[in-house]
Amino acid sequence: MTRKLLGALSPFALFAASCSPSVAGDSPPAAAASAVELEVKQVASFNEPWAMAILPGVNAALVTEKSGKLKLVNANGSVVEVAGGPQVDYGGQGGFGDVVLAPDFAQSGHVYLTWAEAGQNDTRGAALGRAKLVMGGQPRLEGLEVLWRQAPKVTGRGHYSHRIAFSPDGKYLFLASGDRQKMDPAQDLTGNLGKVLRLNLDGTAAAGNPFAAQGGVSAEIWSYGHHNILGMAFDPQGRLWDLEHGPAGGDELNLVQPGKNYGWPVVSEGDHYDGKVIPPHSTRPDMAPPALAWTPVIAPGNFIFYRGDLFSGWKGQAVIAGLGSQGLVRVALHGDMAHEVARHPLGSRVRQVNEAADGSLWVLTDRADGKLLRVAPKGK
């Protein structure tokens, strides 16, 4: 099935510049963007897909399904299950999470995975593991080991975050740990909820982290005061950015820097769902404001920084998977700030976007009827 869609300049990009809350890094008026006609081809179907890692050289990808299955999909649409995955605690926002290839995947065959893990007394938390991917007639994971766990495990089934990003030099693993809908732990440096963590590749705390002197879980922390991070990526300059859901309003794109407090739940550009007002970042200059905030929200999935040439003019821009916005959202950086450039509607909640070797985009749509789509400029 092939559909042709027109990516148009977002009216909200213009609206946000003049009407959004006053935040350092708010979007300036969006620059004019050339419309691009997209060709969208369905490749395969999945049940609640959550994340994807494209394998080098074989035109295939690993896809996690939230209920607990890891699938291998080829560009021809064939899908097989990968054996040996973890046991996940499925429900609410919990289940199988991220899948990312190790920096040395070509040599080691290692993949890193995250998932929701059950604890005692109706508690649960995110876990990070590593295993070797063995290909063949029946692909499988071998030697799966747990490297890290959220601490503490808590009740509820929300805001695990558990996104993975490797540093450009391949030495460190950055891990998003959500606030688990408990809010206050995001400000507590004795736990790792509501944080971005910098770990060694074996899951231990990396040397030189901002709170290393405190020892224990505190030594893992790179930044804190985060809500529910569903995207992390390094830009072409090697800087780490995160993308997180706000409460009722106030989705955020943040330049993540060591030791900084990003404010949750003390400040936000959104308010609580019950209408209770949260002070904006401008009231607390000691806390880092977002580079860009969205109200109404886009409800983001993951994002990438586009590095290819297939989409003219996109190189270096962030391409965001939009759940609530049901398509792709394109953002340009200017220093440590950002502004929205365009939206490209796909008519479905988009959970994940990855860049393929040819510069096309492989996109996962959300929920039980999730699809893998190849998105490219018309004729490409």
Active-site pick, 159, 227, 281, 339:
159
Return the closest-CA partner of residue 210 out of 193, 231, 196, 228: 196
Q: What residue has token string 């290692």?
A: 110
Whole-angstrom distance, CA of residue 285 vs CA of residue 150? 29
Determine which helix (DSSP H) or strand (DSSP E) holds 93, and give its type and residue range.
none
Whole-angstrom distance, CA of residue 347 vs CA of residue 377? 17
Q: What residue has token string 């991220």?
A: 98
Dihedral sign for Cα 124, 128, 131, 133, please: positive
Running DSSP on this structure, what letter comes out for residue 108?
A: H
Whole-angstrom distance, CA of residue 353 vs CA of residue 328? 8
Omega before 152 within 30 of 0, i.e. cis = yes
Instruction: Give the largest Cα separation in the chain, rounded.
Output: 59
The question of whether 159 is a catalytic residue gets the answer yes
Alpha carbon distances (Å) from 270 to 21, 36, 208, 241: 9, 32, 33, 20
Residues serving a catalytic function are 159
